[in-house]
Amino acid sequence: MNTIKDSMKSNRKLVLAVIASVCVIVLLGVIQPVYAEENTYNTTNNNSEVNGPVVNPYLASPLYAIMHFDSSQSDSTPYGPPLGNFTVDPTEETIVYGGPINGITLASTDKDYMWAVGSNRVSYVDVSDNNWTAVAKYEALAEASNNLLPAIPDKNFKTFSESSAVGMNVTSMDSYMNGLFGDNYSYRFGNGAYSVVDNNNVLYTNFGNNIYAFALKDPEKPSAGITKRYVIEDVITVIQGDDHPDSVRLFGLSMTYDGHLIITFSNGVAVIDRELNTSSTSFYRFNDTEYLSNSIAVDENNGIYAASDSIMRKLVWTGTNISDDEANGAWSQEYTNSGTELPPIIKVGVGTGSTPTLMGFGDDEDKLVVITNGAKRMNLTAFWRDEIPKGSQRIADQIPVTCGLSNDTEWIQSEQSVVVYGYGAFVVNNIPENVSSDIEALNMNKILQVSLMGPAYNTSYGVERFEWNSSSNEWSSAWTRSDVSSTSMIPIHSQSGNMALINGYRLPEGWEVLGLDWDTGETVHQTIFGDVNAGNGAYAILQYLDNEDLVFNSFAGPIRIHYDKE
Tell me the pLDDT tens digit for each residue of 228-252: 999 999 999 999 999 899 999 998 8
| pLDDT at 566 (0 to 100) | 56
Amino acid identity for residue 84 in this structure: G
pLDDT at 442: 82
Decide if pLDDT at 17 tops 80. Answer: no
Q: Is the pLDDT of residue 24 over 90?
A: no
Provide the β-strand partners of residue 196.
Answer: 66, 204
> What integer is the mean pLDDT of 140-166?
97
Query: What is the mean predicted confidence (pLDDT) over 452-476?
Result: 98
Q: Pick from 313, 241, 254, 240: which is nearest to 72 by CA?
A: 254
pLDDT of residue 320: 97
pLDDT number for residue 14: 36
Lowest mean pLDDT among 30-39, 210-219, 251-260, 427-436: 30-39
The answer to whether 48 touches 282, Cβ cutoff 8 Å, is no
Answer yes or no: are the C-beta atoms of 249 and 18 closer than 8 Å: yes
Q: List, for residues 41-56, the tens digit of each pLDDT value.
A: 443 344 468 999 999 9
Read off the pLDDT of residues 300-354 as tens digits, 9 standing for 90 and up: 999 999 999 999 999 999 999 999 999 999 999 999 999 999 999 999 899 999 9
What mean pLDDT is predicted for residues 437-444? Answer: 87
Query: How far apart (Å, rounded) are the C-alpha atoms in residues 114 and 91?
Result: 21
Which is nearest to 28 in space by CA: 95, 116, 89? 116
* pTM, entire model: 0.92
Question: Could you give the C-alpha distances from 478 to 311, 401, 414, 415, 463, in angstroms and in order?
Answer: 28, 11, 18, 21, 11
Q: Which element (helix H / strand E) includes 174?
A: helix 170-181
> How, if at all, do strands 368-372 and 357-359 pair?
antiparallel
Taking only the tens place, the pLDDT of each residue in 495-530 is 999 999 999 999 999 999 999 999 999 999 999 999
Least confident segment among 21-35, 312-326, 397-411: 21-35
Residue 208's alpha-carbon distances to 180, 202, 235, 238, 251, in angstroms, are 20, 19, 10, 14, 10
Where do the H-state alpha helices sit in 337-488? Answer: 437-440, 446-452
pLDDT, position 39: 44
Q: Where are the domains of the chain?
A: 4-561
Residues 79-118 pLDDT 10s: 999 999 999 999 999 999 998 999 999 999 999 999 999 9
Distance CA 436, CA 362 (A): 48
pLDDT in tens, 184-203: 999 999 999 899 999 999 99
Residue 289: pLDDT band with limits 50, 70, 90: very high
Residue count (the chain): 566
What integer pLDDT is reported at residue 108 of this predicted model? Answer: 98
**pLDDT at residue 47 in the model:** 41
Number of Cβ within 10 Å of residue 237's Cβ equals 16
d(CA 480, CA 475): 14
Coil, strand, or helix at residue 13?
helix
pLDDT the model gives residue 565: 66
Name the CATH superfamily housing domain 4-561: YVTN repeat-like/Quinoprotein amine dehydrogenase (2.130.10.10)
CA gap 320, 280 in Å, rounded: 9
Q: Work out the average pLDDT over 32-40.
A: 38
How many CB atoms within 10 Å of residue 480?
A: 18
**CA 312/CA 259 separation, integer angstroms:** 24
User: Between these two residues, 23 and 268, which has the higher pLDDT value?
Assistant: 268
What is the reported pLDDT for 18? 36
If you average pLDDT over every residue of the chain, what do you get? 92
Report the pLDDT value the prediction gives residue 48, as an integer from 0 to 100: 62
Distance CA 112, CA 417 (A): 29
pLDDT in tens, 199-216: 999 999 999 999 999 999
Q: What pLDDT is recorded for position 564?
A: 85
Rg of the Cα atoms in the chain: 21
- DSSP per-residue string spanning 303-344: EEEEE-SSEEEEEEE-SSSEE--GGGT-EEEE----TTPPPS
Q: What is the pLDDT of residue 4?
A: 40
Residue 553: helix, strand or coil by DSSP? strand
Higher pLDDT, 522 or 3: 522
Which range, of 24-38, 266-280, 413-427, averages the lowest pLDDT? 24-38
- Looking at 360-454, which runs of residues are DSSP E strands? 368-372, 379-384, 395-400, 419-421, 424-428
Environment class of residue 150 by beta-carbon count within 10 Å: exposed (0-12), middle (13-18) or buried (19+)? middle
Query: CB-side exposure of 189: number of CA atoms within 13 Å?
Result: 31
Calpha distance 256→263 (Å, rounded): 11
In three-state secondary structure terms, 440 is helix
How many Å apart are CA 402 and CA 404, to the nearest integer? 5
| pLDDT at position 49 | 84
CA dihedral 97, 62, 207, 125 (to 10 degrees): 30
| Nearest-5° Cα angle at 386, 419 to 37 | 60
Quick check: 13 pLDDT over 60?
no
pLDDT at 1: 37
